[in-house]
Structure 1
Amino acid sequence: MDKQEMELHCVGCGVAIQTEDREKLGYAPPQALERETVICQRCHRIKHYNEASTVTLGDDDFVRILNSIGNTKSLVVQVVDIFDFNGSWLRGLPRFVGGNPILLVGNKVDLLPKNVNRNRLVNWMRKSAADLGLKPLDVVLVSARKGEGIDRLVAAMNEHRKGRDIYIVGVTNVGKSSLINRLLKQFGESEMDITTSQFPGTTLDVIEIPLDTTSSLFDTPGIVNRDQLVHKVAPQELKLIMPDKPIKPRVYQLNAEQTLFVGGLARIDFVKGERQPFVFYLSNHLNVHRTKLAKADELYAKHKGELLAPPGREAAEKIVWDTFTFKVPSGTHDIVISGLGWIALHGKGANVNVHVPKGVAVGLRHSLI
C-alpha cells in the first residue's frame, strides 16, 4: 500500500491529510505526499510565515479525546504555564482520565524572575493543585524553550510510567508541543517536528510518538480555556501580551482612589486602603498607566486604542467590561488576570476593583512570589 492509499496524518498537528480541497482542514498539495514526512498547508504557513489560523477543535472533540485516555492504562502529564497557572489549569482532569496517575509539569519557568526560590515554587504548585482537586504524583519545573529541567522530567516520566504509554495534556498555549520537540531533539528523534507557534490551538489531533516497541508518547490538542485574555485579542497582539523574556516586576506605590491601566486590557482601581505597593508581573512589552480614580473613565474614553493599547481603537470600541471586586486581606496575595499576569499586594489590606473584557477570569490567591 503506497502513501496515496494510506490515511496520512500531518506530522505537525496530527490532522488527517487530504489533497482535494484547499479550504478544508488537512489540505496538502499532491506533490507533498512524495516527501518522507508530510505536513499540511496550515502547518506550513505557521512554520514559515507565522500566519495565524482560526481552526480549533470543538469542546465535544476535547471531551472525546480526554475520555479516551480514561480507557487506557497510562501516565498522564499535565502541563501548565507557570506564568499563567490559574488560567492554564485543566479543570476536572482526574474525572476524565479515570484512575491514571498524573504528573504535573510547570513550563516557562524561565519567564519568572531569577530570584524565585524553586523549592518554594514546587511546594506552592502542590498546594495550589490540591486546592483545585488534583494530587499529582510529582511536580517538575521546566523551560521547553531553554531546555531547563528536561532531564528531571524524563527521569520522572520513566519512573512513574512503568512501561505504559504517556499522554501529554494541557490547555492551548502552555507549550506542550514545544516541550515534546525539546524531548525529541535531546534524545535524537529528529524525524518528527510538531508545529509550535504563539497562536492557540496549533495541534489539532492526537500525535503518536513511539517510545519503544510496546509504548508511545501522545501529544494531545490544547483544550481551549475561554477565560484567558489571549482569546480576546487579535493574533498580532499576542506577542505583546505573552512574555518572551524573564518578567521584570514593576512596583507602583499607590494611594487610595488611584487607578492603573494595563494598556487597554485591564483596569485596576485601588478604592480603599493605606498607601502600599502594587507589584505588576506582566509581559515587559505592556505599558502601565497611572491616573486618579475620578478621572479613569474620562482617560479611557479619550485614549483607548492609542495611549491605552493593545487592543487597537477598533477592537477597543467593541469591548464590554466585567468588574470584579476584591477585599484583599492583609499579608501577601496576588490578584490574577487569566492570560495576562498578576498584581501582588503585600500591604495591610485593600479594597480593589478590577475591570477586564467580559469573559476573562480574575481571582485572588496566596502570593506566588
Structure 2
Amino acid sequence: MSDEIKEARACSGCGVTLQTEHSEQPGYVPAKALERTPIICQRCFRIKHYNEAASVAIDQDEFLRMLGRIGKEDALVIHIVDLFDFDGSVISGLQRFVGTNPVLLVVNKIDLLPKATNWNRITNWVQRQAKEHGLRIVDVILVSAKRNLGFDRLVDQVGEWRQRRDVYVVGATNVGKSTLINRLINDYSDMEQELTTSRYPGTTLDVVHIPLDDGKHIIDTPGIVYPSRMTELAHRDDLGALLPDKPLKPAVYQLNEGQTLFFGAFARFDFVEGERQSFTCYVSNGLPIHRTKLERADELYRDHRGDMLAPPTRERVDELPAWTKHQFRIARGSETDVFISGLGWVTCNGTTGALVEVHAPKGVKVLTRHSLL
C-alpha cells in the first residue's frame, strides 16, 4: 500500500477511520477498494447505491468531546434543525459548547409546510423557540435541502459571518445536515468529495474536514442521537411512514369529549374533557389515523395493535418501549400544539380549553408549545 493511501485512512463519505479486517465493524473497506479515489467505506457504498445502512452505535461521550472543542476555537457554527421535529432535533445545551462563536440556525424541510404558509410567522416562531431552548443566534435561515429553497440566503449569511474562519456544522441525526454541506462544498470548495446522505439516522460517524479555498475547513460533526425522538426508536422499515417526504396534509377532526385518535400503533391522543372542538393533526401522510371512543381505546390497542393499528407491525410493536401517559390542560383561547417528537403534532383549535392526554413509548419527548401554524 502506498504512503498516500496509508494517509487517506478516513472515509470521504462519513469520516470514519477505514479498516480492512473486520467487515462487521464501522469503517470496513475491501482492500481492493483502497485503490479508488475518493475512498468510501462499505457502509457508505451500500447507502449510496442500495439505500441500505448497518446500525452503528456511537458513544455519546465522543459527541460531547467533539462539541467541546468548538468553544475553544474561533469559528462560525451552523446548527441545523428539522422543522417537522424542531423541539426534538434542537440541541438545547449547544450554547455552553460554542461559547461566544456566532450561531446560524438553519431550519430544514420547510417544503413540508403548505404553500400558503406565512414565512415571517415561521421565522418569529423559530426565534421564540430558540430563545426558550437557551440558544443565542445571529440569524434564522429557512431552507429546504430537497427543493433547494433558501440556499442562496444561507450562502450569503455564511459569507457574511464566516470571516475566514472554520465552519462547524452540528445537528441531530436525520435533519439533512450532510445534504446541506454538499451544497456548501459546491460554493466554497473545489474538492471532489460528497458526504454520504441517506434517510437513516447516524450516517456521519466521525468528524469530516472539508478544505475550503482559503485554507479553512467546513467541519461536519456526527449527528447527535436523541433517543427521545420516535424516529430513533422505530424500526428502519417504518421510517418511511414516520418521516414525511411530501407537504403535510392537515387532518382536521371534530371531536367530542371522550374520543381518541390513534396514530398507527405509535401513539394515541385522547380528548378527555371539554366542549366539542376541532383538532388538526400534522403527521406524515403515510401514517394512518384511527378514531374511536376513549372508553374502547385500551381494548382496541390490546387486540388490534400491529394489524388494524399499524405501523408498526405486531412483531415490531413489541420492540418499542411500553407507553406512558402525558396529560395537558389546554388553556382557553390559547394557540397550542401538542408535540410528539419524531411523529408530528396536534394543534388544539378550540377557544374553550380542553384536557388532553397523549400515550407514547416511554422516553419519547411529548410537550405543549405555542402553535407553529
**TM-score by structure 2 length?**
0.96
Shift of 1:131: 1.1
Matches within 5 A, 1:219-258: 219-258=220-259
Residue 327 (1) aligns with residue 329 (2): yes
Three-state SS of the structure 2 residue aligned to 1:87 is helix
Three-state SS of the structure 1 residue aligned to 2:159 is helix
Three-state SS of the structure 2 residue aligned to 1:85 is helix
1:339 pairs with 331, 338, 342, which one?
342
Query: Could you tell me which residue of structure 1 aligns to residue 361 of structure 2?
Result: 357
Shift of 1:186: 5.9
Query: Could you tell me which residue of structure 1 aligns to residue 57 of structure 2?
Result: 56
Three-state SS of the structure 1 residue aligned to 2:135 is coil
Q: Retained in 2: the 8 A contact 1:229–1:339? A: yes
Aligned partner letter, 2:6? E
Tell me how far apart the structure 1 counterparts of residues 41 and 189 of structure 2 sit (CA, whole Å): 24
Identify which range, 43-52 or 163-172, moves more after superposition.
Answer: 43-52
Three-state SS of the structure 1 residue aligned to 2:368 is strand
Q: Retained in 2: the 8 A contact 1:56–1:204? A: no
Percent identical: 53
Matches within 5 A, 1:114-133: 114-133=115-134
1:339-364: CA deviation from partner (whole Å, max 9, x where unpaired):
11000012121100100011101000
1:366 pairs with 365, 370, 373, which one?
370
Query: Could you tell me which residue of structure 2 aligns to residue 179 of structure 1?
Result: 180
Q: Retained in 1: the 8 A contact 2:95–2:136? A: no
1:151-203: CA deviation from partner (whole Å, max 9, x where unpaired):
10010111111111100000111110011123334667471111111110000
Q: Retained in 2: the 8 A contact 1:147–1:182? A: no
Residue 73 (1) aligns with residue 74 (2): yes
1:37-75: CA deviation from partner (whole Å, max 9, x where unpaired):
000001111111222321131111100100011221100
Aligned partner letter, 2:86? F
Tell me how far apart the structure 1 counterparts of residues 70 and 198 of structure 2 sit (CA, whole Å): 25
Tell me how far apart the structure 2 counterparts of residues 130 and 279 of structure 1 sit (CA, whole Å): 26
Q: Retained in 2: the 8 A contact 1:52–1:235? A: no
Tell me how far apart the structure 2 counterparts of residues 335 and 156 of structure 1 sit (CA, whole Å): 33
Aligned-pair Cα RMSD in Å = 1.3
Tell me how far apart the structure 2 counterparts of residues 206 and 71 of structure 1 sit (CA, whole Å): 16
Q: Retained in 2: the 8 A contact 1:256–1:270? A: yes
Identify which range, 43-52 or 101-110, moves more after superposition.
Answer: 43-52
Tell me how far apart the structure 2 counterparts of residues 335 and 202 of structure 1 sit (CA, whole Å): 29
Identify which range, 286-295 or 52-61, moves more after superposition.
Answer: 52-61
In structure 2, do the counterparts of structure 1 residues 259 and 249 end up closer, same or farther at CA, with 3 Å as the change threshold? same
Query: Could you tell me which residue of structure 1 aligns to residue 210 of structure 2?
Result: 209
Tell me how far apart the structure 1 counterparts of residues 29 and 317 of structure 2 sit (CA, whole Å): 37
**TM-score by structure 1 length?**
0.97
Tell me how far apart the structure 1 counterparts of residues 331 and 20 of structure 2 sit (CA, whole Å): 60
Unaligned runs of 5+ in 1: none
Tell me how far apart the structure 1 counterparts of residues 104 and 188 of structure 2 sit (CA, whole Å): 20
1:254-277: CA deviation from partner (whole Å, max 9, x where unpaired):
000000000000100100001111
Unaligned runs of 5+ in 2: none
Query: Could you tell me which residue of structure 2 aligns to residue 97 of structure 1?
Result: 98
Q: Retained in 2: the 8 A contact 1:106–1:139? A: yes
